[in-house]
Amino acid sequence: MEKIMHTLEYIDLGIKNYQEAWDYQEELLEGVVEAKKKNKADGKIIIPGYLILCEHPHVYTLGKSGDANNLLIQESFLKSINATYYKINRGGDITYHGPGQLVGYPIIDLESFKLGVKEYVHLLEEVIIQTLGQYNISATRLEGATGVWLDVSTPKVRKICAIGVRISRYVTMHGFALNVNTDLKYFSHINPCGFQDKGVTSMQKELGREMDMKEIKTQFNSQFSRIFRVSL
């Protein structure tokens, strides 16, 4: 049994407007940064950390280094499919969030965890890989791309989880989007994460049945706690 090293506050936002969730992340991140400053000043402040899970109404988000041309529809068309569009400050290109997709936002101090950015992303991918493994979905990484993929060595390579993070003063925000019961037709309006030649999938599509989101959250939290050595 690996030793628990950190404690994070677990927050389940349910279905949350994207802008509201983004603002909330920024607020929590600033609190962590302030705690770090005070800790360096007197060494007595416990630096907080958070794990937020939620779902969003239909929304497309474009990372700061992304190509706006990867949104394949006019912004005026978004209204007809009940979707919104944001240019945001995470890494990565364009992706979609919507109902039936498990979105996670860890807000942690990488210095406290003694993690570099690449190692952090690697561990986050590992949490998803192990969570999918609980359902006999064999997932892995794709060289040169973030996220979690299926059948990477075949023409059927497809993405099941996108990852895009922002690091500010070594504190993380944004995170991952795991397709659970996601309506995949919304991905047809973008080049997901900038790729034009790779598909997307969901747990529901792979297993042929609707998944219990509450159960998926429980499995994810268990793997996250084990891999990051935290209690929630």
Active site residues: 193
What share of residues in the chain are helix, strand, coil (percent, to 5)? 35, 30, 35
Task: Please name the amino acid found at residue 164.
Answer: G
Cβ neighbours of 1 (radius 10 Å)? 4
Question: Would you list the DSSP string of 120-166?
Answer: HHHHHHHHHHHHHHTTT---EEETTEEEEEESTTSTT-EEEEEEEEE
**Which three-class secondary structure state does DSSP give residue 99?**
coil
Tokens at residue 205, please?
């599509």
Nearest to 174 by CA among 49, 41, 21: 21
Cβ neighbours of 213 (radius 10 Å)? 16
Give φ, ψ of 83 to 5 degrees. -120, 155
**Which three-class secondary structure state does DSSP give residue 64?**
coil
Nearest to 120 by CA among 83, 161, 201, 174: 174
